[in-house]
Structure 1
Amino acid sequence: MKKADVVEFYARLAEANPHPETELEFVNPYTLVVAVALSAQATDAGVNRATRGLFATVDTPARMLELGEAGLKEQIKTIGLFNTKAKNVIALSQMLVDEYGGEVPADRDALERLPGVGRKTANVVMNVAFGAETFAVDTHIFRVGNRTGLARGKTPLAVELKLDKATPQPFRLHAHHWLILHGRYVCKARRPECWRCIVADLCAYKPKTPTPEAAGTKSA
């Protein structure tokens, strides 16, 4: 995608949604770390249903340790892979208490040391909690980056690095949220809704999908 088209691409997404936010519910940086870690291979809506009551009382690493692994499992048992995730959350909570005074570090390397926290989770936390210009490449961003031609790459890291290089100011802070939401609701995996896409003319994807009426099908 040409530089001028990249600017126009982001400008349109920004105009449609000037202040995008994560759809995960959290109350502080710690609960954000937990929510993002729990969201792997799960929907944000599913995580929110499980954590809404949890975060009302358990909002620090120390309180999570008081709840314990068994108690946490009971709270998040509706989330996929909850056994492994509960073990990781307790372990990362212990590390935060032991090494960081119960505070979440704002450093990517430190975040990635936490059990269950990979580069994507670290990037989300840095961006949402600390205002860093990071690009958390999930399946939606990986698809949108490759499909549109905005940032093509064979791995999430390759797409992340290309997004970092290609995305100009003033769009860098919110870029990954615009791309996630666009992939989740418009540029869908099975059937992208090109007929209602505000950046369709800038996108490299061919052929554009027709309206459901024209295709004689319902949108997926």
Structure 2
Amino acid sequence: MKKADVVEFYARLAQDNPHPETELVSDNVFQLLVAVVLSAQSTDAGVNRATRALFAEVGTPEQMVALGEEALRQHIRTIGLFNTKAKNVIALSAALIADHGGTVPADRDALEALPGVGRKTANVVMNTAFGAETFAVDTHIFRVCNRTGLARGKTVLAVEKALDKATPQPFRLHAHHWLILHGRYVCKARTPECWRCSVADLCVFKPKTPQPAAAARRRSATLKA
């Protein structure tokens, strides 16, 4: 994608959603970290359902350790890989207490050193909680970047580096959220909804997906009304 098209691409996404936010619900940085760890291979909506009662009870690493692994498993049993995730959350909570005074560090390397925290999770926390210009590449962003031609790469890290290089100011802070939301709701995996995409003309993906007949009829009826 040409530099001028990249600017226009982000400008349109920004116009549609000037202040994008994570869809994970949390009240503090620790809860955000836990929610992001739990969201691996799970939907944000599913994580929010599971953490609603959990976060009403637990808001600090100390409270999480006191809750214990078995009780945590019961809270998150509806989430995929909940046994492993429960073990990691208890372990990272203990590590935060032992190594960081119970505070989530504003440092990507320190975050990645925590149990169950990979580069993507660290990037999300750095961006969402601490305002860092990081690019957390999940399956949605990996797909959108390769499909549109915005930042192509064969690996997640390659796409992250390409995205970092391609994304100009003033779009760097919110780029991660714009792209993940675009991939989640418009540029979908099986059938991208090109017919209602605000950046379709800038995207290299072909052939563009046409508007479904039923949707077209509804749109026509709405316009006539």
Paired residue for 2:126?
126
SS in 2 for 1:201: helix
CA distance in 2, matches of 1:17, 1:214: 27
CA distance in 1, matches of 2:84, 2:54: 18
Q: Which amino acid aligns with 1:51?
A: T
Deviation at residue 87 of structure 1 after TM alignment: 0.2
Paired residue for 1:30?
30
CA distance in 1, matches of 2:197, 2:204: 13
CA distance in 1, matches of 2:213, 2:198: 19
CA distance in 2, matches of 1:194, 1:23: 23
Q: Structure 2 matches for 1:172-211, cutoff 5 A? A: 172-211=172-211
Q: Which amino acid aligns with 1:114?
A: L
CA distance in 2, matches of 1:65, 1:71: 10
Q: Which amino acid aligns with 1:149?
A: G
Q: Structure 2 matches for 1:23-62, cutoff 5 A? A: 23-62=23-62
Instruction: Find out whether 1:83 has 2:83 as its counterpart.
Output: yes
SS in 2 for 1:169: coil
SS in 2 for 1:13: helix
CA distance in 1, matches of 2:196, 2:123: 30
Q: Which amino acid aligns with 1:20?
A: P
Which deviations, in whole Å up to 9, do the C-alpha atoms of 1:168-208 show, x marking residues without a partner? 00000000100000000000000000000000000000000
SS in 2 for 1:9: helix
Deviation at residue 101 of structure 1 after TM alignment: 0.2
Q: Which amino acid aligns with 2:74?
A: E
Give RMSD over aligned pairs: 1.1
Which deviations, in whole Å up to 9, do the C-alpha atoms of 1:11-49 show, x marking residues without a partner? 000000000000000111100110000000000000000
CA distance in 2, matches of 1:29, 1:114: 15
Q: 1:196 to 1:107 in 2, by over 3 A?
A: same
Q: Structure 2 matches for 1:7-26, cutoff 5 A? A: 7-26=7-26
Which deviations, in whole Å up to 9, do the C-alpha atoms of 1:71-96 show, x marking residues without a partner? 10010000010000000000000000
Q: Which amino acid aligns with 2:178?
A: W
**TM-score (normalizing by structure 2):** 0.95
Deviation at residue 53 of structure 1 after TM alignment: 1.2
Q: How many residues align?
A: 216
Identify unmatched segments of 5+ residues in structure 2.
Answer: 217-225
CA distance in 2, matches of 1:213, 1:146: 28
Runs (4+) off by over 3 Å: none
Paired residue for 1:96?
96
Deviation at residue 214 of structure 1 after TM alignment: 8.1
Which deviations, in whole Å up to 9, do the C-alpha atoms of 1:115-161 show, x marking residues without a partner? 11000000000000000000000000000000000000000100000
**TM-score (normalizing by structure 1):** 0.97
Deviation at residue 215 of structure 1 after TM alignment: 10
Q: Structure 2 matches for 1:138-217, cutoff 5 A? A: 138-213=138-213
Q: 1:142 to 1:198 in 2, by over 3 A?
A: same
CA distance in 2, matches of 1:118, 1:96: 15
Identify unmatched segments of 5+ residues in structure 1.
Answer: none
CA distance in 1, matches of 2:108, 2:215: 46
